[in-house]
Chains A and B, each alone.
Chain A
Amino acid sequence: MRYVARSQAMLAKALLTTALAAGSIIAFSASSHAEVPASCVKGVDLATLGPTSIIGQGPHGEQAASPDVLKLTDEEAAKVKAGHFKVGISMQTVNLDWSQLQVAGITDTLNKYGVTVTGVASAEYQVDKQIADIENTIQQHPDGIISIPVDFTATAPTYKKVSQAGIKLVFMDSIPTGLQHPQEYAAMISADSQGNGQIAAQILASCIPQGGTIGLVNFGVDYFSTNERTKGVRAWMGKNRPDIKMKQVDFTDPSKVSQIAGDFLTGNPDVQGVYAVWDQPALDTLSSMRAQNIDIPVTTVDLGLQSAIEIAKGGPLKATGSQRPYDQGVAEAMAMMNALIGKETPAWVGVQSLPVVQSNVLESYKTVFKKDPPKELMDACNSAKPACN
């Protein structure tokens, strides 16, 4: 017993000493950042920022259709209500604002027309889980499935089974390899990813001096929407700012971006601005920049609460080309109902990009999230008045 008591006392002593030593000695000083160029962002007129129409093409080179073509007449709406349809949803994850807003847009719209949502499956980015999710959903005999494929090729045979079972399919963001419109799927709805990339490029370019260099933090996995974004950046730069040199680093594991972007900036000290392919990699890039005391402008695609706060504060994150995930969800539900009552549906429906900068971040938040900005965002914006609005 004495042995135990002694060991516990020593353990407690060691714990206390280490904690006290570490806590009390550390004299912390917040890092200081250099100022960004004054012409940055301000040189761009918000009214002319971003494309005026959908600039990208669908996965099979289709032209984009507007969500307006999916509207239902009163007669068609009555037909949908009378059908007592059931629709299942299969997501790549439900842990993103993007996914939750998509699901909310779909569910709200379907419920409005009396269509039941049988369930929302989350594949957690795993192909085998998504295959199982879809097979389980088929067993529930829904009339339609709305889904975002985790992978182009591995899920394709399973999606073919869906259409063979007579179930209507609407995709978000991309289409599995080999599926044909309109026999095997009714429609694909996505943001104008190239347009979003163009917004990110346009703002970033305003912060880069003549002949400067930018870094692209890109997703190294072949995925339609992320490919399109980076393509949008490269295309805009090539046409409008051919003087800017572009370097690229790819990541395949999103949890490693902080390390990869940090090392990329160390290995490429000439990089004067960064484009990150979506908002979380942008935030991870910001965290490694803070650690290394690097202050260069960053732009990205997609809007979340944290990225909105960073834009509101007026820090290195200058702008994002946002999707409108709720509106995309509404369009997916509308496309599904069109298909369920036997109407023809376009192969690709593109939803317009939304440029977000410090001066319109509050309004943009409301547009994207369909609710008032939370306190954290209001506080960040208030502390940066009048630049933030």
Chain B
Amino acid sequence: MTDPQANPTMSQPAMITAPQGEKWHRIARTLLRGERPYMLYIAFAILLVVFSLASPFFLSLNNFLNIGRQTTLVSIMAVGMTFIIIARQIDLSVASTLALSGMSAALAMAHIGNHWLVGAVAGIGTGAIVGLINGIVTTRLAIPSFLVTLGSLSAARGLALLVTDTKPVIITDDTYFAVFGEGSLLGIPAPIAWTIAAMIFGILLLHYNIFGRRIYAAGGNPTAALYSGINIKRATTLAFVLTGSLAGLAALVLSARSHAARPDVVQGMELDVIASVILGGCSLFGGRGFILGTLLGSLIIGTLNNGLVLLNVSSPLQLVIKGAIIVAAVAFTRR
């Protein structure tokens, strides 16, 4: 089932030990990874131009901050999903993991200590545990991750609903709201700051670290990777842990923004996350993809959502247009 176009050697990250002179070349390669990534930039630019011309409210700093904030959850989770999909796996449980992590963070603050760090550790920790379970079951029991995470999608959501008998948990710590939801860093709203942090972390890990190379190897050609002595199971498990942890981080952002954790939030968001990663140039067959592409994928979908509301397009028509443009964008960037 290997994608005939996937070529792991092309997508291999640049060596961190490369000579100094190749620095700019490496950065350029990071930005322009994938088959025809510049098409992705063009697609995004076209969207920006069209919406700027069509709505007087689109082209403003405030609106771009809107888009940034609105895409935060998908973008943060999509960083982890990029690792998963490059490793030729899938994680359908991210949205449920987010819901469970948010409940865990809010409950920890309510019952252990009303401090933002307690919430942060509980939220990210819960996400990591769900990821670890997904990873171990997938790699050790050799069950396809589609089925494993389909199961955890249901189980994590069920647990989230069960812990409070479906009731939301109110959060009252102002520092928590500021750190994850409503504060800002040099004028950048906290949710966007966390997205940028997650992106930088993802880029360092995927493109400038040996772990990233193993992920590409695991997805590009697992047999060869195995014979080269690469522990694919460990790398894959870590990718699931990473994705779960990032779902935990996204949960902190969402609960800080809404001043409460609810067990029924973001149902179906896993599809937006997967769509962003695929739109961003990642191959569903593994071995190919890059973090900046994922960010662009997420921004393209977010910009579409935003622009269509600004243009007062009716809600059902928005869905039709969005679906058509996403498919067109994938076709356009892959041709």
Q: Mark B193-228, 1 if CB is under 8 A from A, else 0.
A: 110010011001100011100100000000000000
B260 at the interface (CB under 8 A from A): yes
- C-alpha gap A352/B328 in the complex (Å): 51
Q: Mark B245-275, 1 if CB is under 8 A from A, else 0.
A: 0000000000001111001111111000000
* Residues of chain A within 8 A of B184, CB atoms compared: 28-29
Contact status A26-B190, CB under 8 Å = yes
Q: Mark A96-112, 1 if CB is under 8 A from B, else 0.
A: 11001000000000000
* Residues of chain B within 8 A of A60, CB atoms compared: none
A11 at the interface (CB under 8 A from B): yes
Contact status A266-B63, CB under 8 Å = yes
CB distance from B238 to the nearest CB of A (A): 7
B167, B170, B264: the one within 8 Å of A309 (CB) = B170
Known: A30-B183, A220-B315. A263 touches B210 (CB 8 A): no
* Residues of chain B within 8 A of A97, CB atoms compared: 167
- C-alpha gap A145/B316 in the complex (Å): 33
* Residues of chain B within 8 A of A256, CB atoms compared: 305
A-B contact count, CB below 8 Å? Answer: 143
Q: Mark A10-47, 1 if CB is under 8 A from B, else 0.
A: 11001100100111011111110000000000000000
Contact status A259-B70, CB under 8 Å = yes
B166 at the interface (CB under 8 A from A): yes
Contact status B314-A250, CB under 8 Å = yes
B306 at the interface (CB under 8 A from A): yes
Known: A267-B309, A267-B312. A284 touches B193 (CB 8 A): no
Contact status B190-A28, CB under 8 Å = yes
CB distance from A269 to the nearest CB of B (A): 8
In the complex, residue of chain A having the shortest beta-carbon distance to the beta carbon of B230: A3
A252 at the interface (CB under 8 A from B): yes
In the complex, residue of chain B having the shortest beta-carbon distance to the beta carbon of A251: B315
A305 at the interface (CB under 8 A from B): yes
Q: Which of B40-87 contact A (CB under 8 A)?
A: 55, 57, 60, 62-63, 65-66, 69-70
Contact status B268-A255, CB under 8 Å = yes
- C-alpha gap A256/B167 in the complex (Å): 20
A262 at the interface (CB under 8 A from B): yes
A4, A220, A263: the one within 8 Å of B66 (CB) = A263
A170 at the interface (CB under 8 A from B): no
* Residues of chain A within 8 A of B55, CB atoms compared: 267
B231 at the interface (CB under 8 A from A): yes
Contact status B214-A7, CB under 8 Å = yes
B333 at the interface (CB under 8 A from A): no
- C-alpha gap A97/B229 in the complex (Å): 55
Q: Which of B85-143 contact A (CB under 8 A)?
A: none
A361 at the interface (CB under 8 A from B): no
Known: A3-B229, A28-B183. A259 touches B174 (CB 8 A): no
In the complex, residue of chain A having the shortest beta-carbon distance to the beta carbon of B166: A95
- C-alpha gap A309/B259 in the complex (Å): 11
B179, B229, B312, B314: the one within 8 Å of A220 (CB) = B314
B177 at the interface (CB under 8 A from A): yes
* Residues of chain B within 8 A of A14, CB atoms compared: 201, 204-205, 209
Contact status A255-B267, CB under 8 Å = yes
* Residues of chain B within 8 A of A249, CB atoms compared: 309, 312
Stretch at the interface among A135-143, A200-208, A286-294: A286-294
A134 at the interface (CB under 8 A from B): no
Contact status B182-A95, CB under 8 Å = no
A376 at the interface (CB under 8 A from B): yes
Contact status A267-B310, CB under 8 Å = yes
Contact status B172-A267, CB under 8 Å = no
A7, A25, A258, A264: the one within 8 Å of B210 (CB) = A7
Known: A95-B264, A263-B306, A290-B182. A11 touches B205 (CB 8 A): yes
B297 at the interface (CB under 8 A from A): no
B26 at the interface (CB under 8 A from A): no
Task: Give the interface size bracket for A toward B.
Answer: 35 or more
Q: Mark A247-276, 1 if CB is under 8 A from B, else 0.
A: 001111001101110111011010000000
CB distance from A170 to the nearest CB of B (A): 24
A28, A263, A309: the one within 8 Å of B309 (CB) = A263
- C-alpha gap A25/B188 in the complex (Å): 12
* Residues of chain B within 8 A of A304, CB atoms compared: 168
Contact status A22-B197, CB under 8 Å = yes
CB distance from B127 to the nearest CB of A (A): 14
Contact status B306-A259, CB under 8 Å = yes
B161 at the interface (CB under 8 A from A): yes
CB distance from B84 to the nearest CB of A (A): 16
B244 at the interface (CB under 8 A from A): no
CB distance from A333 to the nearest CB of B (A): 22
* Residues of chain A within 8 A of B264, CB atoms compared: 95
Contact status B70-A30, CB under 8 Å = no
Contact status B178-A29, CB under 8 Å = yes
B168, B204, B310: the one within 8 Å of A18 (CB) = B204
A177 at the interface (CB under 8 A from B): no
A94 at the interface (CB under 8 A from B): yes
CB distance from A352 to the nearest CB of B (A): 26
B174, B234, B316: the one within 8 Å of A4 (CB) = B234
A18, A30, A305: the one within 8 Å of B200 (CB) = A18
* Residues of chain A within 8 A of B327, CB atoms compared: none
A239 at the interface (CB under 8 A from B): no
- C-alpha gap A11/B83 in the complex (Å): 14
* Residues of chain A within 8 A of B280, CB atoms compared: none
- C-alpha gap A250/B313 in the complex (Å): 10
- C-alpha gap A10/B17 in the complex (Å): 14
* Residues of chain A within 8 A of B191, CB atoms compared: 291
- C-alpha gap A292/B181 in the complex (Å): 12
Contact status A31-B185, CB under 8 Å = no
Known: A3-B229, A15-B201, A287-B257. A266 touches B62 (CB 8 A): yes
Given contacts A26-B190, A28-B184, A287-B258, 8 further A-B contacts (CB under 8 A): A6-B210, A22-B197, A27-B186, A258-B258, A267-B310, A305-B168, A306-B168, A376-B170
Binding site for B on A (CB under 8 A): 3-4, 6-7, 10-11, 14-15, 18, 21-23, 25-31, 94-97, 100, 220, 249-252, 255-256, 258-260, 262-264, 266-267, 269, 283-284, 287, 290-292, 304-306, 309, 376, 379
Across the A-B interface, the 7 shortest Cβ-Cβ residue pairs:
A28-B183, A263-B309, A22-B197, A18-B201, A28-B178, A267-B310, A26-B185
Q: List 5 A-B contacts (CB under 8 A).
A: A27-B185, A30-B174, A100-B166, A266-B66, A283-B260
